[in-house]
């Protein structure tokens, strides 16, 4: 496979469009809605799986994540339709720890693998037609490997890699299936020492987080080629605190997590209005990872049994 690289500071998907900073505020708006949560139960070979996590949902209601079954961590997809079908992904890296991070609206899936949660990580795209796989590993990635975090229906994927080892800074990148090109992505902030891209929708809009020298996360969006920096209140100021964005939906709604004193607090922004996500009594939030254009969200709670429980929120 021929690999080419281009480097840019602006959005990789907005060639010829000037990129400017736009501050947007979501704080202070009334709650857009309240959510009810349905736990996701996953079975394989007739046996229940534990520690299920849900990372993604598309506009058709198809979702995916990771489950622990038969002493292995495996990725799964659940197709929507008259009959719900669970697909345990098999392919390159099938004997490794596997995470589905995105199922695009056309059914393609982005995922990455590791060896028992340890680097190197390797990204893959699984195409819905024919079930073929494409390996995605940024040529500049160090021994920690490549994480593939988002994918749209037009064959554009986003993720991040580490030039050095597992403790080195993250570099965001955009990968285009057509041409097999990798493009570095940076936020035009002097204080940014590390950047992560977490989502891309079918319009090419992006969501992500940049980090300052204190390892505090700051959210950003790129919509129609313009950088936007949402003002999400409630974050702490300790190392590892901040605001982390997850997915950007096809209508530019998005979700994420506010960290305060190292504790996550989920939020959803729909039509500019913020809804805080409150876990069921006794549970704690582990992650809020996906949203579709209908405002359906997915993520993971930790229960009183100390296990991870993926959920769908409506």
Residues 213-267: pLDDT tens digits? Answer: 999 999 999 999 999 999 999 999 999 999 999 999 999 999 999 999 999 999 9
Sign of CA pseudo-dihedral 181, 187, 188, 189: negative
What average pLDDT is seen over the chain?
A: 85
Residues 175-200: pLDDT tens digits? Answer: 999 999 999 999 999 999 999 999 99
Categorize the per-residue pLDDT at 7 as very low, low, confident or very high, splitting at 50, 70 and 90. Answer: very low
Task: Write the DSSP symbol of residue 262.
Answer: T
| pLDDT at 56 (0 to 100) | 97
Distance of alpha carbon 71 from the chain centroid: 25
Q: Give phi and psi for 218, each to the nearest 5.
A: -130, 130
Categorize the per-residue pLDDT at 14 as very low, low, confident or very high, splitting at 50, 70 and 90. Answer: very low
Q: Residue 193 burial (CB < 10 Å; 0-12/13-18/19+)?
A: middle
Provide the strand spans (E) within 70-126. 72-79, 85-88, 97-103, 109-115, 118-126
Domain boundaries, the chain: 4-313
Look at the block and give the residue holding tokens 């961590």: 73
Query: What's the chain's length in residues?
Result: 314
Class of domain 4-313: mainly beta
Residues 151-177: pLDDT tens digits? Answer: 999 999 999 998 877 678 899 999 999
Q: Give phi and psi for 257, each to the nearest 5.
A: -135, 135
Residues 261-301: pLDDT tens digits? Answer: 999 999 999 999 999 998 888 899 999 999 999 999 999 99
Among the ranges given (63-67, 78-82, 138-142, 149-153), the one the predictor scored with the smallest mean pLDDT? 78-82
Look up residue 6 and give its two tokens: 């281009």
Task: Write the DSSP symbol of residue 29.
Answer: P
For the chain, give the percent of residues with pLDDT over 90: 63
């Amino acid at each position: 496979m021929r690999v080419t690289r281009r480097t840019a500071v602006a959005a990789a998907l907005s060639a010829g469009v000037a990129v400017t900073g736009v501050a947007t505020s979501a704080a202070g708006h009334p709650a857009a809605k309240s959510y009810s949560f349905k736990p996701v139960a996953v079975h394989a070979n007739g046996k229940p799986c534990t520690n299920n996590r849900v990372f993604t949902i598309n506009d058709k209601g198809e979702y995916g994540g990771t489950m622990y079954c038969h002493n292995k961590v495996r990725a799964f997809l659940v197709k929507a339709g008259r009959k719900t079908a669970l697909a345990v992904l098999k392919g390159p890296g099938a004997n490794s720890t596997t995470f589905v991070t995105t199922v695009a609206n056309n059914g393609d899936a982005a995922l990455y693998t590791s060896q028992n949660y340890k680097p190197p990580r390797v990204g893959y795209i699984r195409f819905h037609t024919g079930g073929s796989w494409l390996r995605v590993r940024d040529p500049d990635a160090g021994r920690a490997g490549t994480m593939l975090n988002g994918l749209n229906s037009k064959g554009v994927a986003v993720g991040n890699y580490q030039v050095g080892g597992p403790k080195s800074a993250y570099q965001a990148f955009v990968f285009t299936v057509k041409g097999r090109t990798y493009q570095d992505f940076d936020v035009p902030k002097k204080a940014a020492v590390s950047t992560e891209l977490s989502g891309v929708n079918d319009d090419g809009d992006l969501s992500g987080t940049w980090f300052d020298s204190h390892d505090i996360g700051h959210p950003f969006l790129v919509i129609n080629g313009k950088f936007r920096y949402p003002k999400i209140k409630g974050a702490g100021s300790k190392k590892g605190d901040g605001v982390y964005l997850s997915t950007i939906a096809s209508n530019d709604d998005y979700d994420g997590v506010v960290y305060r004193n190292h504790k996550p607090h989920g939020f959803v922004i729909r039509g500019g209005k913020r809804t805080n996500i409150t876990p069921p009594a006794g549970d704690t939030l582990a992650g809020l990872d996906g949203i579709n254009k209908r405002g359906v969200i997915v993520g993971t709670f930790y229960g009183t049994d100390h296990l991870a429980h993926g959920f769908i929120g409506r």
